[in-house]
Amino acid sequence: MAAGGGGGGGIADEKQAPAEAFGGHLQEAADMMEEEQHSGGVKSRLSGLLWHGGSAYDAWFSCASNQVAQVLLTLPYSFAQLGMLSGILFQLFYGLLGSWTAYLISALYLEYRTRRERDKVDFRNHVIQWFEVLDGLLGRHWRNAGLAFNCTFLLFGSVIQLIGCASNIYYVNDRLDKRTWTYVFGACCATTVFIPSFHNYRVWSFLGLVMTTYTAWYIAVASLVHGQVEGVQHSGPTRIVLYFTGATNILYTFGGHAVTVEIMHAMWRPQKFKAIYLLATLYVMTLTLPSAAAAYWAFGDELLTHSNALALLPRTPFRDAAVVLMLIHQFITFGFACTPLYFVWEKLIGLHDCRSLCKRAAARLPVVVPIWFLAIIFPFFGPINSAVGSLLVSFTVYIIPALAHMVTFRSPQSRENAVERPPRFAGGWTGAYVINSFVVAWVLVVGFGFGGWASITNFVQQVNTFGLFAKCYQCPPHITAPPAAPAFITPPPMAPAPSMPPATAFNATGLFPTVPAPAPAPAPMINFFLRHHHHRHHGGRHGL
């Protein structure tokens, strides 16, 4: 069977009517939204500009902003584990792999929604999610698997953002330890319960991407300006455990499309989503490749003990700005990861259709509590990314979508009636099956198998080294000055004046003869303090 082009144009002529009905319904909804914005006053237009997004540009900003946040800071760490060449190749490879599976998810979403629209189902007050797509196309067993993996991944994705907030702010203000900062930012991130849906992330997605762009190029330029540290070594890869740990962190980096369905559903015309994720990935690579390569070139193997690249760069106003901007973006990404969890929770307790924002916000708060708690238990910024990537991302956004696409369109009739056919350059249906089979095999063996073993081994090592509930993970030791001598300590003996008799040693028995007074000498405590103060002044603070 010859493969048609993407979109509705590839559907057989006799099957065009249902697709047109689907497109017409979405067109009507988009026209209604635009009419409401134009008919309102200045306040309505400003609200539409900043708050209500649903265009292809909004989806692109959402995908790119959600794809890279705190993971940007750990990619130099992955380069130190993989080596320069492997780090670059894995980014290119997993970027393309992630774009393909995001395309599969979009095709399955369009297929599900079209079938439901034929049954006159109205989704204007309902947000379609990935597990519902699996349920409608393949049944409850697929739904349960998709729901379990997707929710767990989004849960730990939110945990990682919270850990990243505490790790970053520590390099601006270390008066509080990282665990205390986790408490603080947990409360701040809880305010995302007031953001209704992905429609309302228009300005946040734009600002988040601008902030990450600044941080990425700051790391690249600052590393090049700093130059290579003395005796720099680039020995990676040295151990197979570290190699696959770094690879799974990159797998996690380009597996951020667990919210693809929700972003598509927020679009006025979701048919335009097909190439959006690929374009977002290409832009993200302009941020991740230069920053990771430059930092690894400058610091080499030192990154193996510094999972946050900002820790090795000297403190300047530019670095502080990068930290603050990244914190704001992590807050936004926390909302991206948590919003689908909010939807699932609302559907579970029967409040998803509630019109009251305050009621929905109050009902969402229990979702934040376990995220807060897990971030305090596992504060391992960097290693936790690899563990989540190998155990959860591998199934959520790679294996399950590829298998679901193959099973959904396994019959000739389903392929003939498909709303979205595979593109010609991919080889049509045959090429799609070959690519999907490769994705499943590769990610199952390399990502989940070797990657899972390596990341769990590394994660357990972090637990054994730092312990659970670590107060300040990878924090440098604080050097404190010794306490000053108390005022009541007797000062050292002074040399006697010429008119004074020679000093005698006091002895209760009177058996020891008199001895001359010792020559004056500086106090040993003062000498020690001066030497210590001099060392600290020149040595500075060491560690991260």
pLDDT tens digits, residue range 419-451? 999 999 899 999 999 999 999 999 999 999 999
107 phi/psi in degrees, rounded to 5: -65, -40
Confidence check: pLDDT of 30 > 60: no
**Residue 433 placed within a domain:** yes
Dihedral angle at the C-alpha atoms of 333, 334, 337, 339, nearest 10 degrees?
A: -110
Tell whether the model's pLDDT for residue 309 goes beyond 50. yes
pLDDT in tens, 140-171: 999 999 999 999 998 998 888 888 888 888 87
Residue 454 CA, distance from chain mean position: 20
Is residue 37's pLDDT more than 50?
no
Cα(368)–Cα(167) distance, integer angstroms: 19
> Rounded mean pLDDT of 405-420?
94
Helices then strands, each counted (H, E), the chain: 20, 0
The residue ranking higher by pLDDT, 495 or 83, is 83
pLDDT of residue 265: 87
d(CA 165, CA 70): 8
- pLDDT tops 60 at residue 498: no
Q: For residue 427, is it within any domain?
A: yes
Position 49 scores a pLDDT of 58
Domain contains 535: no
**Number of domains comprising the chain:** 1
Supply the pLDDT for residue 135: 94
Q: What is the pLDDT of residue 478?
A: 58
* Average pLDDT, integer, range 93-115: 94
Per-residue pLDDT, averaged over 315-332, amounts to: 90
Q: Note whether residue 481 is domain-resident.
A: no
Give the residue with greater pLDDT, 124 vs 6: 124
Whether 526 shows a pLDDT value over 50: the answer reads: no
Question: Could you tell me if residue 525 is inside a domain?
Answer: no
Residues of the chain with pLDDT > 90: what percent?
38
Question: Which range is least confidently modeled, 2-16, 303-317, 389-403, 411-425?
Answer: 2-16
Interatomic CA distance for residues 286 and 523, integer angstroms:
61
Mean pLDDT of all residues belonging to the chain: 79
Coil/strand/helix, residue 206: helix
Confidence of residue 286 (pLDDT cuts 50, 70, 90): very high
Q: What is the mean pLDDT of residues 119-142?
A: 89
For residue 495, is it within any domain?
Answer: no
Q: What Å distances lie between residue 327 and 58, 312, 323, 380, 517, CA to CA?
A: 21, 18, 6, 17, 65
Range of the domain at 86: 51-466
Q: Are the C-beta atoms of 410 and 418 separated by less than 8 Å?
A: no
Lowest mean pLDDT among 41-45, 94-98, 212-216, 483-487: 483-487
Give the residue-averaged pLDDT of 211-227.
95
Q: For residue 225, what pLDDT band results from cuts at 50, 70 and 90?
A: very high
- Per-residue pLDDT, averaged over 376-396, amounts to 84
Q: Is the pLDDT of residue 112 over 80?
A: yes
Is residue 398 one of the residues assigned to a domain? yes
One-letter amino acid for residue 80 of the chain: A
For residue 293, which of 92, 38, 540 has the smallest C-alpha distance?
Answer: 92
pLDDT surpasses 70 at 538: no
Domain-embedded: residue 395: yes
Which CATH number does the domain housing residue 106 bear? Answer: 1.20.1740.10
Q: Are 47 and 199 in contact (CB under 8 A)?
A: no
pLDDT value at residue 32: 44
